[in-house]
Amino acid sequence: MTTRSSAALLCALLALMCAAQQDSSSHENRSTPVRAFTPTDAQHILAGSCELMPTTAQFPESLKSAFARLTRQNRFALANPGDAYQETDVIKRQELPSRRLIVAGKCQSFWFIHYEQGGIGHDYALVFFRADSHSRLSFVWGGRGFTRAGTVAKLRGAIAAKLFSDDRSYYW
């Protein structure tokens, strides 16, 4: 290797190291992480016109698939309002889902599902999905809490009151 090519290689390595240092320091200077979708966004989405789906039979297949992926299930499983589901951690009927729909719908280009989940502790979740350029729905935001909100207006209020926590990693 010639002196000239060694010098060029050394300059290139130094430039890469400087760029990496600038990139990492810019991340370190952020006081809060930047999130693409926030509870405030969810609140604004729900303020618009929404098409509600009172039963899972009205869910498009893309929403069922996205929900199954998010909840790590092999297939879609969500009981309809009023239907039986696994309310506690005592499994009496294996075929029953552990989650039950409260309200779901589409607002603008977003889909949402608010549901209750049984088990050792009973709680409620709200999840949002959005379609990508290939029309595949992806999870964008979710929160958990102990509030059942049967209407879009109540959901908006619960989000505003910070009754759905989104600051932890959850098993949906």
Task: Report d(CA 49, CA 65) in Å as an integer.
Answer: 24
Which residues of the chain form beta strands (DSSP E)?
50-52, 99-107, 110-117, 123-131, 137-145
6 or 126, greater pLDDT:
126
Average pLDDT over residues 63-81: 97
Categorize the per-residue pLDDT at 59 as very low, low, confident or very high, splitting at 50, 70 and 90.
Answer: very high
Burial of 49 (0-12, 13-18, 19+ CB in 10 A): exposed
pLDDT at 35: 59
How is residue 62 written in tokens? 């893309």
- Kindly tell me if the per-residue pLDDT of 170 is higher than 90: no
**What is the mean pLDDT of the segment spanning 137-166?**
94
Distances (CA, A) of 22 to 15, 19, 25, 29, 52: 11, 5, 5, 11, 47
- Each domain of the chain, given as residue ranges in start order, spans 1-32, 35-160
- Which pLDDT value is given to residue 64? 98
pLDDT value of position 2 = 53
Closest CA to 123 of 104, 95, 149, 105: 149
Asked whether 103 and 52 are in contact (CB, 8 A), the reply is: yes
Of 56-60, 69-73, 90-94, 132-136, where does mean pLDDT reach its minimum?
90-94
| 108-122 confidence digits (pLDDT tens) | 899 999 999 988 889
Nearest to 152 by CA among 122, 117, 111: 111
Q: pTM higher than 0.85 for the full model?
A: no
Residue 83 pLDDT greater than 90, yes or no: yes
How far is it, in rounded angstroms, from Cα 97 to Cα 124? Answer: 15
